[in-house]
Structure 1
Amino acid sequence: MNYNGLQVYSEIGKLKKVLLHRPGEEIENLTPDLMERLLFDDIPYLKVAREEHDAFAEVFRKNDVEVFYLEKLMAETIKDNSVKELFIDEFVSETGIINKTRMAQVRAYYQSFNDDQILVDKMMAGIRGEEFKIGLSHSLSDMIEMDYPFVVDPMPNLYFTRDPFATLGTGISLNKMRTVTRRRETIFAKYIFKYHPLFKDVEVPYWYDRDQPYAIEGGDELVLSDKVIAIGVSQRTDAAAIDIIAKRIFADGQPFETILAFDIPKERAFMHLDTVFTMVDHNKFTIHPEIEGPLTVYSIQRGDGRGEYVIEKETKKLEDILTKYLGGDQVKLIRCGGKRGIDAAREQWNDGSNTLAIAPGEVVVYSRNHVTNRLLEEEGVKLHVIPSSELSRGRGGPRCMSMPLYREKL
């Protein structure tokens, strides 16, 4: 298989390359009235959020991890004017603008930027109505659009780079996000993998594409080993999307033999699979205590024919499922907050079970989850603790804020 700069065959292999997005002006375009629409429960303070995010990035750099920024890769991708025109056209077509005159005005506005980085930052930040001077209206739809505070909505969820696509093996699933609010986020990855100098001359297999009809998000996709992938059937991911991924991965010749489809509650508290458990070492996981009971899991096993598979339904405890498919020692579950109750509820709200491994037994965690952090240390896990008063307001942890591009094999 041709080397394409992508390799993720585990959740814990030594991390070498990671994709981040430093929070931008899109955060300051959040308002209380729009938080539900834009999927936020609170409004982070941008200055401090950036300081916290810079501390997050510094952990990677100090540990020999190359950091890529989504916004910088995108600006480099559109240095070719023909690619920039394609990108602007597609981006504008997905803004939700109905009025054709307004669409043309927004397209011309984006085309007026001479600096590609400023253009990308503005596309991510959104366009406030007050920034955009428009003459007399010619249609009802235009007048209604003018009453809304944004000409183009901001994209405040972008700092959660885990969700728009996922690196699985040496390929990616370019995801279709569940909500309209987040769907445009995947445009950036589409253009980066097709046109950026790092990828345009190499073959990147797509296990899924954003044009597919079913929703799937990267927080539900965990690579447990070079044999096993776990995917959550959740509030944000459809079972039919997993069928498509299984067929493509098993047809490609990747080493994966099993995809475990975890049927988890369709609730915000269990939004993605990685909000209820993450891998911290070869046989250790952090978990949300509420998921400890028997789980329904569908084991999708590679079949004899190309792209074929067989499915078996199982109902077992999480530790028994993981021990069975990972082999080796009995899996150890480290409970967020220690047990069900006040500490677990508080720290789960702040993503205490959403950690990011940068090597086996070495993880990045939020400082505020001190009960869970102490328990991790007692189990011999090395912690890289980052400040989290503002980043955590987006309801996502260190794993949510990062997309590994390359991990060493175990």
Structure 2
Amino acid sequence: MTCKNRELNVYSEIGKLKTVLLHRPGKEIENLTPNLMERLLFDDIPYLKVARQEHDAFADILRSNGVEVLYLEKLAAEAIENHKIRDEFVMNFIEEGNVRGNGLKKQLLDHLSQFNNQELIDTLMAGVRTTDIKNYATVSLTDITTSDYPFVLDPMPNLYFTRDPFATIGSGITLNHMRTETRNRETIFAKYIFEYHPRFQNCKVPIWYNRNQELSIEGGDELILNDKVLAIGISQRTDAGAIERFASTIFASNEGFETILAFDIPKKRAFMHLDTVFTMVDYDKFTIHPEIEGPLTVFSITKDSASENGLKIVKEETVLEEILKTHLGLDSVTLIRCAGGDPIDAAREQWNDGSNTLAIAPGEVIVYSRNHVTNNLLQEHGIKIHVMPSSELSRGRGGPRCMSMPLFRENLK
């Protein structure tokens, strides 16, 4: 199979969405325990049955609006059809899952060998409990000293936030190095999909940043404001140095991006990524959490062949509206503040990702039902909203944008 058409095309946040990648929550959610929540980056435990119903409603909204919905788990299974690739994938996954004891590693390989490709992917995503392994035994010092831990391989409950492990930018991707070991294994799925899945393997997908680089960058911090300007958060999860490396690569490409606006946002859990406090909903309208406006610092990064690192970095000295107007060539900019900036409503709705919207077309977004104050404000500003249920999915601390990775958007006129 050859790549006849471009499979990746994302040059804005708001162009009509045509293809998106999701992950339907699986049994990994039921492997969350109170003792593991901090390790696995959760604040609560969603109820899987309802979380799946909510996620299916999300997918139905997308499909009913002409969006092709692809699933991470299905693409990953299809990418390892070749036995040699499957074996390589499993060994890669086990090594990064820190399965060190040789005896345990052999038992795990034996356990996984019984599954077909889809069952294998689902099992690796869900995590492998020690009780899943027949005749689980401690046959090495490594195994003995970790024998009280309930998992051979940790579950991956963050997978339904497909936005973070990689980001589609232009015709390529950043295959991200995630901040935490817990999430970094998620990028293995994307690596094998873009290298070996029939849909992508002959497309020569450009990689703007690779998972083997030591500095972290995550997709929730990467926004495409238009075909010339990107916004990236310097955040709890993304390093400034990673942004510089990415900038050098993307500016050296033929993609046409000319400016990166680096948003230095507060480094705390409530603001873990830029898209939890700032998203684009129309050509000139943005959601924002009011708490970041005061301490927000923005740097513009452009290409400069005369400088030592090939970049010109300027600290912007004006308010955000003026920065966006200048760099996006707009006459005016509207910032729609989460819950109108009310100190109680904004804090509550920000916790439930009131500022995290997914645009499916200019001025048309998907939102969580629970953020009713912010949703009303969006409508008052002329934004068409599609409301999805959100009682359980929101417990993972991510909204509609977090749960989706656009692969193809129509270019803006």
**For this structure pair, what is the TM-score category when the shorter chain's length is used for normalisation?**
over 0.9
What is residue 225 of structure 2 aligned with on the other side?
Answer: 224
Q: Does 1:179 align with 2:180?
A: yes
C-alpha displacement of 1:297:
1.5
CA contact (8 A) 1:295 1:317 kept: no
C-alpha displacement of 1:406:
0.4
| 2:231 alignment partner AA | A
| 1:252 alignment partner AA | S
C-alpha distance in 1 between matches for 2:60 and 2:136: 47
| 1:154-177 deviations in Å (ceiling 9; x for gaps) | 000000000000001111000000
CA contact (8 A) 1:127 1:151 kept: yes
| 2:88 alignment partner AA | L
| 1:361 alignment partner AA | G
| 1:147-203 deviations in Å (ceiling 9; x for gaps) | 001111000000000000000111100000000110100000000000000111111
| 2:315 alignment partner AA | K
Q: Unaligned 5+ residue runs, structure 2?
A: none
What is residue 193 of structure 1 aligned with on the other side?
Answer: 194
| 1:339-371 deviations in Å (ceiling 9; x for gaps) | 141100110010000000000000000000000
| 2:89 alignment partner AA | F
CA contact (8 A) 1:250 1:308 kept: no
Relative to structure 1, is the Cα distance of residues 236 and 294 closer, same or farther in structure 2, using a 3 angstrom cutoff?
closer
Give TM-score, length-normalised by structure 2.
0.96
What is residue 350 of structure 2 aligned with on the other side?
Answer: 348
Partner SS state of residue 298, structure 2: strand
C-alpha distance in 2 between matches for 1:177 and 1:107: 26
C-alpha displacement of 1:61:
0.4
Partner SS state of residue 337, structure 1: helix
**Structure 1 residues 130-139 or 356-365, which shifts more?**
130-139
What is residue 31 of structure 1 aligned with on the other side?
Answer: 33
C-alpha distance in 2 between matches for 1:233 and 1:316: 18
| 1:390 alignment partner AA | E
C-alpha distance in 1 between matches for 2:399 and 2:260: 24
C-alpha distance in 2 between matches for 1:242 and 1:175: 11
Partner SS state of residue 316, structure 2: strand
What is residue 21 of structure 1 aligned with on the other side?
Answer: 23
Q: Percent identity?
A: 66
C-alpha distance in 2 between matches for 1:244 and 1:120: 32
C-alpha displacement of 1:337:
1.1
C-alpha displacement of 1:227:
0.4
C-alpha distance in 2 between matches for 1:44 and 1:178: 23
What is residue 262 of structure 1 aligned with on the other side?
Answer: 263
C-alpha distance in 2 between matches for 1:98 and 1:401: 32
Q: Does 1:85 align with 2:91?
A: no
| 1:394 alignment partner AA | G
What is residue 96 of structure 2 aligned with on the other side?
Answer: 94
CA contact (8 A) 1:161 1:402 kept: yes
Matches within 5 A, 1:141-156: 141-156=142-157
C-alpha distance in 1 between matches for 2:399 and 2:208: 25
What is residue 8 of structure 1 aligned with on the other side?
Answer: 10
CA contact (8 A) 2:103 2:139 kept: no
| 1:324 alignment partner AA | T
Give TM-score, length-normalised by structure 1.
0.97
| 1:279-316 deviations in Å (ceiling 9; x for gaps) | 00000011111012253222111235899331112233
> Runs of 4 or more off by more than 4 Å in structure 1?
304-307
| 1:271 alignment partner AA | M
CA contact (8 A) 2:176 2:210 kept: yes
Q: Does 1:204 align with 2:220?
A: no
C-alpha distance in 1 between matches for 2:21 and 2:148: 37
C-alpha distance in 2 between matches for 1:104 and 1:320: 60
Matches within 5 A, 1:6-405: 6-113=8-115, 115-134=116-135, 136-293=137-294, 295-304=296-305, 308-405=310-407
| 1:286 alignment partner AA | T
| 1:232-285 deviations in Å (ceiling 9; x for gaps) | 110000111111111111111111100111111111111000001000000001
